[in-house]
Chains A and B, each alone.
Chain A
């Protein structure tokens, strides 16, 4: 078995990056059920416990503390098979602010299960930005099952972005649920490209429970070959002047299949929620615009999808 440092280096190398050495950047590296490395900065508290097949961790940012640079968390498994279960509790107390870049790497996976069960609690006026990016093998041998519950306090802000960087999705089964107190703002974004026989299931549900709470659920998907995507996003507004929008765009090619079920519910007449879903091939005007620049149809389609799936943060 490789040493801890070698595993850390392999994990970062699979992301196309070097190990983090900057003393003002907090980072945590977890391979399987081992915490290989951890470096914290003032105001950030992390406790991790190794379990049989994963880890249990709590992350806390105390009241009013603002972590200046994004915290890097690197999860993964270098071997071809295995299980990694992560239990994560995140709490940002009132007025706290932090951003986390969570890299999940399974570069050689043939049969890997990665489960994440997280609960995120944001205090009043807290701000938390969470980017989750994945590198998988080209075999599609990864099953990713995140279950996340987010509770936003009054005036809090939460943003999540899920992104596949390289490799095949395999099986992706996301369930996110959020509840938003008064004047809080929620943005949840997922951008995934599936191919081969990948399966993508995304189920996001948000409740705008407090007055003037706002929420946007955005999902952009591209599937080709025999890949399938099933998107079920629900946004429920329960309070006066709550505002929300559900947006789903899916581009299909070859024998790919996609389904989008946006559900909007409003139980207060002063609230307003909208939705938009579009599934199909790429827009012909976009296609011909790029073809009029000399790109052939495949290259133009790839560029349109690249834009649709590009990070927008």
Chain B
């Protein structure tokens, strides 16, 4: 039995008077790839932001444990230094910030070869990209791959990947998956946030989330079948939780 690296315990979070996470609990096993799948508005990205401790997502009840330690009160950088990081759905751009500087900003050393290797893994030619800035001249897909390169360079214990396929073409998506496999081979645990069946298939285990609650968990096949048959055509998305009949 694998050990839990991340435990989310009974987390409830409200934003703008609306309950987004509703007593949510889950365990993420070390060294595995987990997916949290659910429709738009189910609370997936909110969960990612809450686990990372981003501003605006700190006022919640319940607790978050990392390697058994309660990190609920820790700041973003303190959580990152524990070994957790986040690959954003839409990463920020930085005027003038050099590619190598950004990629190595969280790395254990400042070896330029580490940055070049990370760029190669995500399918970006270091000779073409190392001299560039992480700014608006990068396309959305390039920026996402640079973000992932920075995470590869970090060698984190746990990486949360929020919608890794959004804004990514088919060819680039394969490089994203390759990077994900590389992370896993190097010992990282991966938590995928997705509503894509293609991304879901990359996971070892899956959670089904709806209206801020974990409805089911188990094998990818089981969750995938349920999600495809029941969730995709479902009209519960974004309706107030008291109106949802989860027995349907």
Contact = CB atoms under 8 A, between A and B. Distances in A.
Please indicate whether A and B come from the same complex rather than being unrelated chains.
yes
B86 interface: yes
A281 interface: no
Contact of A288 (B55, B81, B95): B55
Contact of A284 (B55, B75, B94, B134): B55
B201 interface: no
A293 B97 contact: no
A304 B154 contact: no
Nearest to B154: A293
Contacts of B52: 288, 292
Contacts of B76: 288, 291-292
A284 B154 CA distance: 21
B97 A292 contact: no
Contacts of B77: 291-292, 294-297, 300
A81 interface: no
Nearest to B84: A292
Given A293-B85, A294-B154, A310-B98, A285 B92 contact: yes
A292 B85 contact: yes
Interface string A277-313: 0000001111011111111110010011011111010
Contacts of A294: 77, 80-81, 85, 105-106, 154
A286 B80 contact: no
A290 B92 CA distance: 10
A296 B79 CA distance: 11
A220 interface: yes
Contact of B94 (A220, A291, A296, A304): A304
Given A303-B105, A307-B133, A293 B80 contact: yes
Given A291-B75, A292-B86, A295-B77, A307 B105 contact: no
B88 interface: yes
Interface in B54-90: 54-55, 75-77, 79-81, 85-86, 88
Contacts of B101: 303, 306-307
Contacts of A288: 52, 54-55, 76
B106 A308 contact: no
Contacts of A249: 95
Contact of A309 (B80, B96, B105, B154): B96
Interface SS of chain A: helix
Contacts of B134: 307
Contacts of A307: 94-98, 101, 133-134
Contacts of B98: 307, 310
B105 A290 contact: yes
B105 A283 contact: no
Nearest to B77: A291
Interface centre among B80, B85, B101, B134 (most CB of A within 10 A): B80
Interface residues of A, number: 25
Nearest to B97: A307
A308 B95 contact: yes
Contacts of A289: 88, 91-92
Contacts of B93: 286
B189 interface: no
Nearest to A307: B97
A292 B94 contact: no
Contacts of A283: 92
B114 to A, nearest CB: 13
A45 to B, nearest CB: 35
Contacts of B88: 285, 289
Contacts of A310: 96-98, 133
Interface string A28-50: 00000000000000000000000
A292 B80 contact: yes
Contact of A295 (B86, B105, B133): B105
Interface of B: 52, 54-55, 75-77, 79-81, 85-86, 88, 91-98, 101, 105-106, 133-134, 150, 154
Interface of A: 220, 249, 283-286, 288-297, 300, 303-304, 306-310, 312
28 contacts: A220-B95, A220-B96, A249-B95, A283-B92, A286-B92, A288-B55, A288-B76, A289-B88, A289-B91, A290-B105, A291-B75, A291-B76, A291-B77, A292-B76, A293-B105, A293-B106, A293-B150, A294-B77, A294-B80, A294-B81, A294-B106, A295-B106, A303-B97, A304-B94, A307-B134, A308-B96, A310-B96, A312-B96
Q: What 5 pairs between A and B have smallest CB-CB spacing?
A: A293-B106, A307-B97, A307-B96, A294-B80, A310-B96
Given A294-B77, A310-B133, A312-B133, 14 more contacts: A283-B92, A284-B55, A285-B88, A289-B91, A291-B76, A291-B77, A294-B105, A295-B106, A296-B77, A304-B94, A306-B97, A307-B95, A307-B97, A308-B96
